[in-house]
Amino acid sequence: MKFGGNIKRRSGRFLALWISLFICVIMILPGTGSVPCKAEEIAGDGQAWEGDTIYCTALGDSIAKGYGGKGQEDLISYTQLIADQVAGETKIPTECEKFAKNGLDSLRLNSDILTMEEALSSLDRADIITLTIGANDLMQEFKHAAQEVLGTERKFLSVYDAFDALQEGVEGNPLLIVKILDVLNNWDYTIFEEQWMAAMDTITAHRKSTAQLVVTTIYNPVSQFELPGAMNGIVEDIICNMNQVMYEHAEDYDYRVVDLFDSEICEHTQEDGLHPDQEGQEVIAKLAIEKLDTGRFKGEPEKEIKEETAPKKAKQRKYSLWTILGPLPWIAMAILLGITAVFLFWIAKRKNTDLYRKRNKNKGKND
């Protein structure tokens, strides 16, 4: 009996050993033995968001700040509108911190804003980051171009001041438009791209891996102005190429681009024709929300976000006096030449007639 009991105990040990080995092999083999997880536990597939507040950090110029001129003092910026809508959709409180200044360009974004400890700390905890910059780069360069063309050291207080000075210069010398177009046509985008990448490097260094970043492109803030000659076309090319810089680096820095250039934003500006009014801010907010995945704050599967098509880089335009001045001056010149020709013909004919009469008169006397 004792011998039989030992056999049973040994058999039990061998059986337990084989079962343990079988389980280990099953767990080692790929694709087998995995324990199913709930959707909210799988990273990148509806991972549950942890937190009691959604933090939004807004960077940029007067558009991001929510500049309100006469009659628009209570204007709500698109950045705050985004925060409010996200709170409404997720039922989670939001907090929006703005680091935006009127007249801010990309250089000052890096030197004045992205060096502030408060701004960097905000980026560290941000769940949503928005950036609007570039329009003032355009304005500053335009003022420099006006100084170069007019050969003046005068500092223009605003873009309006520069426009007026150029208009006066062209009225005094219409061919000055050729020089203006040449300066604008040879615009250097290197500085803007360098500043853009520097800003992105700083943001990336402080941005959480789960934070969403959206940037807005530049719309044509001078489309409402009657610029001399073919300047509107050149300005649009410049904006297109600046926007192209943003699209070009979107994948490298993992951000979404909000297209304002082809939007209706220019139909909703304040009296100055530059800054968006309340409806304009709402247009920006609506377009930006489309680029955000608010479902991740509710543990929903990842949202498919439509990527905007990057604009093609605009080529330098070739201009002639015909394309610059248009046909009207040439038509007027042709009419003037025609009148001059008729007048000269009449003078010549009259001289010939008088000479013929004199000859006949002299001939009669001789007879």
Tell me the average pLDDT across 154-168: 83
Alpha-carbon distance of 181 to 187, in angstroms, equals 10
Considering the domain architecture, whether residues 20 and 123 belong to the same structural domain is answered as no
> Does 246 or 222 have the greater pLDDT score?
246
In a domain, 363, yes or no: no
Q: Residue 243: which residues within 8 A CB-CB, separation 6 or more?
A: 134, 217, 218, 261, 311
Q: How many structural domains compose the chain?
A: 2
- Output the pLDDT for position 330: 60
pLDDT bracket for residue 28 (50, 70, 90): very low
36 pLDDT band (50/70/90 cuts)?
very low
Q: How is the chain split among helix, strand and coil, in percent rounded to 5?
A: 55, 10, 35
* Whether 203 and 82 share a structural domain: yes
Output the pLDDT for position 258: 97
* Burial category of 346 from C-beta neighbours within 10 Å (exposed 0-12, middle 13-18, buried 19 and up): exposed
Tell me the pLDDT tens digit for each residue of 307-335.
Answer: 777 777 766 666 555 555 556 566 767 78
Question: Is residue 129 domain-shared with residue 25, that is, in the same domain?
Answer: no
The DSSP secondary structure of 331-347, one letter per residue, reads: HHHHHHHHHHHHHHHHH
Structure tokens at 12: 């039990």
pTM above 0.85, yes or no: no
In this structure, what CATH number is given to the domain that contains residue 150?
A: 3.40.50.1110
Please check whether residues 250 and 282 belong to one and the same domain.
yes
Pairing mode, if any, of strands 128-132 and 54-60?
Answer: parallel
Q: Model confidence over 98-146: pLDDT tens digits?
A: 999 999 999 999 999 999 999 999 999 999 999 999 999 998 888 888 8
**31 and 71 housed in the same domain:** no
Other CB atoms within a 10 A radius of the CB of residue 313 amount to: 12
Q: Of 130, 124, 128, 168, give the one whose Cα is nearest residue 146.
A: 168
Q: For residue 353, is it within any domain?
A: no
Residues 218 and 109 in one domain: yes
For the stretch 50-59, pLDDT in tens is 789 999 999 9
| Statement to judge: residues 99 and 14 lie in one domain | no
- Residues 106, 215, single domain; the answer is yes
Q: 200 and 113: one domain?
A: yes
Is 68 in the same domain as 25?
no
pLDDT of residue 40: 31
Q: How confident is the model at residue 33 (pLDDT cuts 50, 70, 90)?
A: very low
Q: Does 93 fall in a domain?
A: yes
Residue range 34-47: average pLDDT?
A: 36
**Cβ–Cβ < 8 Å for 275, 63:** yes
Distance separating alpha carbons of residues 166 and 148, to the nearest angstrom? 11
What is the CB neighbour count within 10 angstroms for residue 325? 16
Does residue 18 lie in a domain region? yes
In whole numbers, what is the pLDDT of the chain averaged over residues?
Answer: 81
Is there a single domain that holds both residue 135 and residue 218? yes
14 in a structural domain = yes
Q: Which residue has the higher pLDDT, 227 or 1?
A: 227
Find the domain containing 243 and state its range.
54-322
Q: Give dist(CA 251, CA 310) in Å, integer.
A: 12
> Looking at the domain assignment, is residue 49 inside a domain?
no
How far is Cα 189 from Cα 242, in angstroms, rounded to an integer? 7
Cβ-based neighbours of 311, under 8 Å, separated by 6 or more: 240, 243, 244, 247, 261
Claim to verify: residue 112 and residue 24 sit in the same structural domain: no
Percent of the chain with pLDDT over 70: 75
Question: For residue 306, is it within any domain?
Answer: yes
pLDDT at 64: 97
Asked, for residue 206, whether it belongs to a domain, the answer is yes
